[in-house]
């Protein structure tokens, strides 16, 4: 007999209409859980970090998802939103995404709100090496304490699980990210083209500067290669990227694309043959899996997440983008193999990433969390 429908509250600092890996993850999970019959809401902040001057509606339905937004103050690195607890409503369970103010606040206020809680780590806050000493101290102090307030801590990758296992007394469960495998399925250019595509936030950890340096090496032998950069500004602005492109003499070889919807991105994929990423850190690597589903051939920097994916998907080529000549050589090699017909695109088994299975695993975690919370209440009453 199926379990009774749940009222689920997802809490995440940035959400639609913003686009990125975290936003897409929560949106897809929320939609799939609603399809399974659960009541789902998303609680988020009322301003986008990329456009802080514009205040978004307090309540809105986008892409079929019920969204509530609340004001905040402070830095985007740790936005403080004290009104969060006024929006719990009838939630049976709170699912907090990422390690930030919400993660700490819900844990601290657990004796007051008394809601069972699950958190997904999404890479924690170690996406860059900036302030690494302070981050480590915070992780070993406040984060270690906050973890104890949650019935379950879920990691999106083995590397995340290893990071949090040392501070999570109940252990860490790994549920790899779900990916919309139909969105870009088979969209890559049918014939090989010296055209590269990267998708993701314009952020320092993505090392777009290294992609540009690699393209300059590729085009030193002839201006044939093209790079399309698709994403949203973050701690790197579109203006700063444009200036860097001009400075490196790549005007015309590189194009920036911001704010695109899925059909527009699919069209760009159709003009490309290879997916590239120089990212130093990824919580999982959704864009790379989407690239595989599209039939693009990935060449990526060997961060922990991409190295883990490489073990499962041999089509991925790993190359150190800190060395532009090395990365350029890897891209040329991947393209040459494709041109010679030696690359079997579309042969990767990606079924483990389908959202139906991922959502079902999360609901099982929720049920266990509710049971654990019930045992805790019973023990306290006794």
Mean pLDDT by 10 residues, the chain (382 residues): 83 92 92 96 95 96 96 94 97 96 97 96 65 80 95 90 90 92 95 96 94 97 91 92 97 95 96 97 89 97 93 96 98 96 86 93 97 65 39
d(CA 301, CA 280): 7
What pLDDT is stored for residue 382 in this prediction?
37
What pLDDT is stored for residue 159 in this prediction?
80
| Token representation of residue 316 | 């991925």
d(CA 276, CA 298): 6
Q: How far is CA 51 from the centre of its chain?
A: 20
What pLDDT is stored for residue 40 in this prediction?
98
Name which of 194, 192, 272 is nearest 230 in CA terms.
272
Which H or E element spans position 53?
A: strand 51-55
What pLDDT is stored for residue 21 in this prediction?
82
Domains of the chain are: 7-178+354-381 (3.40.50.2000), 195-339 (3.40.50.2000)
What pLDDT is stored for residue 125 in this prediction?
62
Name which of 299, 306, 300, 307 is nearest 333 in CA terms.
299
What pLDDT is stored for residue 348 in this prediction?
84
d(CA 25, CA 176): 11
What pLDDT is stored for residue 306 in this prediction?
94
| The length of the chain, given as a count of residues | 382
What pLDDT is stored for residue 376 in this prediction?
53
What pLDDT is stored for residue 379 in this prediction?
43
What pLDDT is stored for residue 271 in this prediction?
97
């Amino acid at each position: 007999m199926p379990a009774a429908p749940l009222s689920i509250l997802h809490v995440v600092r940035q959400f639609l209409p913003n686009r990125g890996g975290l936003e897409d993850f929560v949106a897809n999970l929320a939609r799939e859980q609603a399809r399974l019959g659960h009541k789902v809401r998303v609680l988020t902040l009322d301003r986008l970090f990329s456009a802080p001057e514009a205040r978004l509606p307090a309540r809105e339905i986008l892409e079929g998802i019920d969204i509530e937004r609340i004001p905040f103050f402070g830095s985007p690195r740790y936005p403080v939103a004290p009104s969060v607890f006024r929006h719990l409503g009838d939630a049976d369970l709170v699912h907090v995404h990422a390690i930030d103010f919400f993660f700490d606040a819900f844990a601290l206020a657990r004796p007051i709100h008394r809601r069972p809680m699950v958190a997904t780590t999404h890479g924690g806050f170690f996406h860059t090496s900036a302030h690494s000493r302070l981050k480590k101290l915070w992780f070993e102090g406040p984060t270690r304490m906050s973890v104890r307030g949650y019935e379950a801590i879920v990691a999106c990758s083995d590397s995340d699980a290893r990071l949090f296992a040392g501070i999570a007394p109940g252990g860490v469960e790994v549920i790899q990210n779900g990916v919309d495998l139909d969105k870009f399925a088979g969209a890559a250019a049918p014939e090989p083209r010296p055209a590269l595509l990267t998708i993701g936030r314009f952020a320092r950890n993505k090392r777009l500067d290294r992609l540009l340096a690699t393209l300059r090496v590729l085009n030193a032998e002839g201006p044939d290669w093209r790079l399309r950069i698709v994403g949203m500004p973050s701690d790197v602005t579109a203006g700063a990227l444009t200036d860097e492109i001009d400075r490196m003499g790549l005007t015309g070889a590189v194009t920036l694309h911001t704010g695109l919807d899925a059909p527009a991105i699919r069209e760009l994929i159709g003009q490309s043959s290879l997916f590239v990423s120089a990212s130093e850190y990824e919580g999982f690597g959704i864009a790379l899996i989407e690239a595989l589903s599209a039939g693009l051939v990935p060449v990526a920097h060997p961060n922990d997440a991409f190295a883990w994916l490489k073990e499962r998907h041999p089509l991925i080529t790993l190359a150190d983008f800190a060395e532009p000549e090395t990365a350029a050589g890897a891209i040329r090699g991947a393209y040459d193999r494709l041109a010679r017909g030696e690359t079997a695109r579309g042969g990767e088994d990606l079924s483990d990433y389908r959202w139906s299975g991922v959502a079902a695993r999360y609901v099982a975690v929720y049920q266990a969390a509710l049971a654990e919370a019930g045992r805790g209440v019973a023990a306290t009453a006794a």
